């Protein structure tokens, strides 16, 4: 069985060998990955890092590298993906993020949830569980699509389905502007149940006691990446992707 690190290396080599550049969506998504990783705290080797919704483990490995952690615990609902992710650096637990997380209370230093949040059906359960497992001072970095992105607002103003939701699990429907319009969804398709705006994403974490100390917006579809980089600093509220860092405060009088 290949480890997640081997899969990541093979994927990078394969892309390089083909000489192909990712499309605009993938460029923005990769920029979102890099910016989200930059918000993770530096960790000691013994600190526990959790990748919630780790899929096949590529982002778990990148999170380990970004934080300096010795390893990571991956949480993944799909047994096939979990099997591919499981390796020396990533210990994967098959787990449904819409229910209780099988980790001890106040045992985790950082949680990384990259583009899994919109796929959940019980966001309140997930946030409560993240609060429970984080130590005081620990943080959760969440990335997701932005319902208030300009391309979504434009689609809705035309009477079309927004780009972040799809009304069918079998067909891409409702938005003639989508390059996949009226095509069948792939077998691996997983719908977005709920997509947040910057305000709603911040407020749902604050409601459970977190302090959101950082949030960023990435990408402006269909603008080219150089234009998006400029707009990200001017108007992050309407970017394609959102990333927040939510910190569990340290109680007054408790030692750090």
Structure confidence at residue 18 as a pLDDT band (50, 70, 90): very low
- How much is the average pLDDT of 155-162? 97
pLDDT of residue 179: 87
Average pLDDT (139-157) is 98
Q: What is the pLDDT of residue 241?
A: 98
Average pLDDT over residues 8-19: 37
Distance CA 238, CA 217 (A): 7
**Predicted local distance difference test score (pLDDT) of residue 189:** 87
What is the band of 253 on the pLDDT scale with cuts at 50, 70, 90?
low
Q: Which is more confident, 14 or 234?
A: 234
Residue 255: pLDDT band (50, 70, 90) is low
Q: Could you report the per-residue pLDDT of 61-81, keeping only the tens digit for each?
A: 999 999 999 999 999 999 999
Q: Within 13 Å and on the Cβ side, how many CA atoms surround 86?
A: 12
Which position has the token pair 């998006």?
A: 228
Domains located in the chain, CATH noted: 4-146+196-247 (3.40.50.150), 147-191 (no CATH)
CA-based angle 116:117:119, to the nearest 5? 70
Question: Which DSSP helix (H) or strand (E) runs through 153?
Answer: helix 150-157
**Pick the residue with more confidence: 256 or 249?**
249
State how far the Cα of 36 lies from the Cα of 231, in Å rounded to an integer. Answer: 17
Give 106-109 contacts, CB < 8 A, sequence gap 24+: 106/132, 106/133, 106/134, 106/135, 106/136, 107/48, 107/133, 107/135, 108/48, 108/49, 108/50, 108/73, 108/133, 108/134, 108/135, 108/138, 109/41, 109/43, 109/47, 109/48, 109/49, 109/134, 109/135, 109/138
- Mean of per-residue pLDDT scores for the chain: 91
Q: Read off the pLDDT of residues 73-130 as tens digits, 9 standing for 90 and up.
A: 999 999 999 999 999 999 999 999 999 999 999 999 999 999 999 999 999 999 999 9
Cα separation, 45 vs 119, whole angstroms: 31
Q: What does the CA dihedral 26, 222, 219, 227 come to, rounded to 10 degrees?
A: 120
pLDDT tens for each residue of 162-214: 999 999 999 999 999 998 899 999 988 889 999 999 999 999 999 999 999 99
The answer to whether residues 147 and 195 touch, using CB atoms and an 8 Å cutoff, is: yes
Band (pLDDT 50/70/90 cuts) for residue 11 is very low
Threshold 0.85, pTM exceeds: yes
pLDDT for the residue 16: 31
The CA-CA-CA angle for residues 209, 211, 213, to 5°, reads 170
% of the chain residues with pLDDT over 90? 85
């Amino acid at each position: 069985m290949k480890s997640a690190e081997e899969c990541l290396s093979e994927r990078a080599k394969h892309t390089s060998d083909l000489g192909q550049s990712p499309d605009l969506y993938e460029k923005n998504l990769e920029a979102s990955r890099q910016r989200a990783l930059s918000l993770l705290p530096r960790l000691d080797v013994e600190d526990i890092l959790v990748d919630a919704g780790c899929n096949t483990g590529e982002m778990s490995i990148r999170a380990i590298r970004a934080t300096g952690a010795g390893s990571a615990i991956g949480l993944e609902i799909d047994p096939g993906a979990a099997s591919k992710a499981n390796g020396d650096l990533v210990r994967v637990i098959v787990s449904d993020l819409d229910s209780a997380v099988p980790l001890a209370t106040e045992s985790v230093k950082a949680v990384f949830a990259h583009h899994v949040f919109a796929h959940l059906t019980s966001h309140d359960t997930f946030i409560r569980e993240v609060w429970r497992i984080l130590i005081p001072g620990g943080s959760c970095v969440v990335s997701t699509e932005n319902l208030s992105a300009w391309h979504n607002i434009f689609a809705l103003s035309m009477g079309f389905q927004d780009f972040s939701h799809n009304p069918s699990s079998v067909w891409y429907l409702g938005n003639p502007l989508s390059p996949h319009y009226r095509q069948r969804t792939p077998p691996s398709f997983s719908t977005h149940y709920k997509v947040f705006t910057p305000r709603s994403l911040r407020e749902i974490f604050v409601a459970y006691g977190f302090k959101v100390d950082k949030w960023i917006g990435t990408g402006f579809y269909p603008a080219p990446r150089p234009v998006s980089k400029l707009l990200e600093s001017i108007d992050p509220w309407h970017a394609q992707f959102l990333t927040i860092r939510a910190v569990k405060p340290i109680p007054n009088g408790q030692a750090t």
